[in-house]
Structure 1
Amino acid sequence: MIRVPHGRTLRFRLFMLAASGLVPLALVAVVVIGSLIRDRTLEAQSAALDVSRALATAVDAELRSIGSILQSLAQTGHLASGRLDDFRPVAARVAEGQGWRSLLVADGTGRILMNSAQPSGTPDPQPVDVESMRRAIETRMVTVGRVAEGRQKQGPAFAVRLPVIRDGQLIYVVSAVIPAERILAVVARQRVPEGWVVAIFDQAGNRVARSREHAVARPSPTLQALLDRGGSEGAGPTTTLEGVPSQTGFTRLQASGWVVAIGISQREADRGFYAVLAAVAGGLAASLALSAFLAWYFTRQVTEPIDQLKAAAGALGRGEEVRLPPLGISELQDVAAALAHAADDRDRAAREREDLLARVTDALRLAEEAARSKDEFLAMLGHELRNPLAPIATALHLMARKGDASTRIEREVVERQLGHMTRLVDDLLDVSRITSKRLAMRFEPVRLADLVEHAAQGIPALLGDRLFRVHVDDDARGLWVSGDQDRLGQVLNNLLGNAIKFTPAEAPIELALRSGGEGFAEIVLTDGGVGMPPEVREHVFDLFYQAPQGADRSRGGLGLGLAIVRSLVEMHGGSVRAESEGTGHGSRFIVRLPTMAAPPAPEPARESPHATGMGRVLVVDDNQDAADTAAALLEIAGYEVKVAYHPQEALALLESFHPQVAVLDIGLPGMSGYELAGQVRAHPGGAQCYLVALTGYGTQADAARATAAGFAAHLVKPAGPDALLEAVARGLAPAPPAGG
């Protein structure tokens, strides 16, 4: 921490400064002398400004005359017809007659096509002043360039460039290269007094001409400061390059941006004034000198510490170390102490920010690792749960096909519980995809009336004795939305499943479709169930939220269904809300979706040919129950089936059994299904095999990877028997005729 000792007060210093102020006589003398000097200075500045205007007019006229000559040259037939070789001698004569260095012709991009000072065929470089060429091309106006030393080292020169326009197109840029002596001659013709200095500068501040030769080709620092004030003209005190104080006026040429400056030496301006000034100033010299010294001394005592404080404040703002010596003024040292405390606070805050940033970075890294571990766990969990579900589903289908009536009730129980288990797995994986923003959506026109009626057809087995009604308003039958039909069906299934779960037997459930007005449709599900108090209704769409239940958890669930509903609806640009008058009064869920115009009616689809006769199918799955039940289903359907429980067994079977379709699990021991697919295709016995992936990995990325590995179909366990049979049938169907 910086410690600053205390000193004398600032008030004491200011008192001493006031006590040593100028006496009234000195004040009057200063006012009088100042008024005289100001008047004399203004007169000199006004005279310099008037002369600069006149000289600027002469220089501008000279530049305009050059532009007029170029305009005449541009109208010659040789240039108009593009005969540059014929135009060259004309250009050379004009340049020589006008005292120009050369005359150039460039194309519309600035590339030099002809130089009158060089023989025909000599390659011309780019122009010396590229900037003026660019401005001439962009503005299509006569442009005066900067002064520069040419490549031939013949002395400084500048270019006057004329764009040549034909039918609205830039054809050429004709440039006259003028030696700077041409402008010096204009200055000489004005006959300004000998004690004055005339200088002309180009747009970049380079000297074009000066009445007095000097090695420096730029304005003096004081003249540059005067020019930097901007404006088309101005006047003020300057010091010439020779060190002569002067009063200077300048005028800026609007067309070229050049500056004409006239400097009148202060001695010339003050001629006859020194005697008066000496008489007035002599009597007051002693008192003024003393007062000035005292004022300077005490002012310095104040300003130097303030300057040190300013420097310290700047260092504080830049994050640098703050260093302050003793200032000698009590109030300023208080400020210095405050700056020192601020520096300490800044350094402490910086350390805290760095520590906080490190903790946040670690937390983000841990969160990313946890999210990645969660996704990997859920993917593996889905695969492991779906593997046993697949043979159960296939076995139930086989039992149904065998027509054993004595086990019908038990089979239906297993089917219902299997469906419930499948939905739980799907919900768990959907939540993972939604929260990580990896859920793929396929948007297409969907007719809501068909969606509602189809959803209603799939639940009669779950209703029991409940009264279920479906109502579609007449004006809602033509409502269409842009959405993913499967995901919208999942929304309705989750809402219906929730309603059935919380609605007692013999209570009504109604699913309705109506117009929501203003380009929206509304799907309303109303039940006569247990209802919701406000505290439940507020959280009903939260992830993993479950309403309070008894110890038996008769309604079960993971608290995912309604959370998935809200996410899917919002991904369709809609909203969902829950309404209830309280416990025992039922609930109402309203899904609101934006509508679209009805799409054109599709053309009737032609029937696809189906596979007929026997077919050879290879089933590979390390889950023996899954493999055996799938094989049994395919054998009942009339296919010749071989089963392998290991990838090497499958490859060995290819020697004698040449399958037309191979149904492969992905999570195989020793070799993944993707690798096995490549080896099957590389084997002569499986080169033409149609590959079907039957796996517990069901993400969009898994399906894309299966396609890349050569699989024609991707089925997620537990795939329905119809889906498996349809995939195999597609693989055995004859290829469509060429050109069909």
Structure 2
Amino acid sequence: MRLSTRLALLAAVALIPMVIFSGIALEKLLDAHREEAIRGMQETARATSLIIDRELKSAQSALRVLATSPYLSEENWKKFYDQAKVANVPGGAWIVLYNEDGSQVVNTRLPFGSVLASRPDPHEIAEIIQKGEPHISDLSWGPRAKAYVIFVDLPIYLPGGKRYVLSQAFYADHFNVAFAGRGIPSTWVTGIFDRKGITIARSRDPGTLIGKPAKPELTEIISTGKDGTLRHITRDGLDVYDVITHSELAGWALGIGAPAAEINSAIWRAIYIALGGLFAALLLAGLAAAFVGRGLLNSISAAAQSAAALWKREEIPPRPSSGIIEVDEMHAAIREAAVVLVKEQQARTLAESEREQLLLREKAARKQAETESKAKDEFLAMLGHELRNPLSAITSAISLLEMENVSPAIIARAKNVMRRQTDHLASIIDDLLDLSRVMSGKIRLNRHALELSGVVTSCIETFRTAGRFSHQNISVHAEPATIHGDTTRIEQIICNLIDNAIKYTPEGGSIGIDVRAQGNEAVLTVKDTGIGISADLLPMIFEVFVQGENTLERAKGGMGIGLSLVSRLVELHGGRISAESEGTGKGSTFTVRFPLFESATQADNRSPVEPDDRKYTILLVEDQEDGRELMAMLLQSQGHHVLQAANGTQALQLAAEYQPDFAVMDIGLPGMDGYELARRLRSDVHTSAIRLIALTGYGLQEDRYRALDAGFDLHLAKPLKYEELKRFFNSEATV
């Protein structure tokens, strides 16, 4: 037997358990699907049965009302006839009044005074009067009506001793109302049967089957009075699953049959797919066996050639790799033997080859070192440039503020420059730290159900408030799309993309922002008509520190890390990002795709609480004097009373004496650090209620957790913006 044949058999044997267990799983799936479908049919049958009972109860109620008529005691049959005529239920029903002997006294189906016949089953009248209970008949043939009818009977006992039976008669087709508007598929067969198994109504071919007995297998279940399920062939020749339920009021049976082919069709499709997959697996196994077998045969043939070369003492045979350890060891043994035999002949060539390899490796290493050195120098130069620019602007602004006789407009402009450049410095540092955390795997996401369109709207409003949209035409389309994300990081992604679009779109250009749900993804698109991306830069637009002449960010003074950070944050959220551009000057499109969060709940629609601008007593703990003084001045300018402490000991004394509302504390304090200070404040009953805010240059997620564990209510990273503190103050004021 050939090796390839053996491998094919081995693959087939390995697939046998998969075939067996797949068959078992498919069988269980078929049973589960069938049971689920039958449960649905049972629910439909019970609901339809309730409709029948409702019709019968309505008829009984009408009879009870009519039984109280004074015309019965007076035997004023004309008046009673007129009253009963008015009480008739529309849709083919009529009222009949019977004597004890079964003769009719009043029949609203005929004109008053007509000759009336006795009831087809007069003995039933006597039984109804004797039992004294409401009665619902089985299906019977009405000779005068020349149709199948149903009677709802009510015995009446008058004070004078006379006894009657008041009945409401229905044509059998009246009960077709149970099928109408029920949403029952037209392919299903539905029938109503009396207690004897006689067909009262049927959704298909009623004309020929009304009044006929049900099939024996159905009659057997109907006669028991219990609900049941069976599979059988209908009189129409359909193979159906039948569900039988009974009316609690009449004792009739309701049957709903669904075609077996319809129930099983979905499962059979799955079976066909599974069989196709199994066949494909067998085919692939055969191909794999043939491929591996060919590799083995080639390896064995190569070994034979190597042995022949060894015998003839020719050049050293090659050492092919077959992926099979034993075969490779055989090749190695042959080759080692050849090396021993031709060692002297090949020694010089081997040495020369080694020297060449060393030279090539040395050149490659030198080139790599030069490249890395150049990249380091370029990055340091770029970083210095990016840091000096805002520092230069801040220094100039400070010089302006120190000058005398400077106009208020210039002072305001200088302040705006300082604020903007400080924000720019913070952004550079944050981007560097964030990228470092992402690349080292130290970043943690606080993910929850997040409405992407809401975050986009918030970011756009921030840019609009800052006046960033004053030179471009902005269009926004935001549809609801819930994702599982970290609010801060998602805002970082969106703001980076919008900031890039603004930065690289000239005045008068257009920027389009679109959010929508597509399939199982939330899609964010930021499209602009700006300077575009060249074809050679596009493939590496998301790489870190791309060379200056190829980097889009560098063209506008950026550091080349923004898009790289965005790309990695998107990947951490399980999403993906892509960039498109037709070339330089033709705009660009960035598309971000996040998985939709299926189990996300609807956002809280409560109205936001109005901010509360209360004035508070605030304890400011900072060992750096300039920073403390400036922060104190800022808080005092907003009307707050500020207590200043340079270390933990002073802070404990001031907190115990004044019991401030809030304490803003640096972590890196001399002697007693901020964590220990927070723990002491929390442990003292007089200061435990103070709301503690950690202010630190350490911004890692671990630092936040450590601050919260020490008792802080909020962790903020330097440089601090007063708006962040104000939001916390206001949120605490509404608790």
TM-score normalised by the shorter chain: which range applies?
0.3 to 0.5
Greater C-alpha Rg: 1
For normalisation by structure 1, the TM-score amounts to 0.42
- Structure number with the bigger relative contact order (C-alpha 8 A, sep ≥ 6) is 1
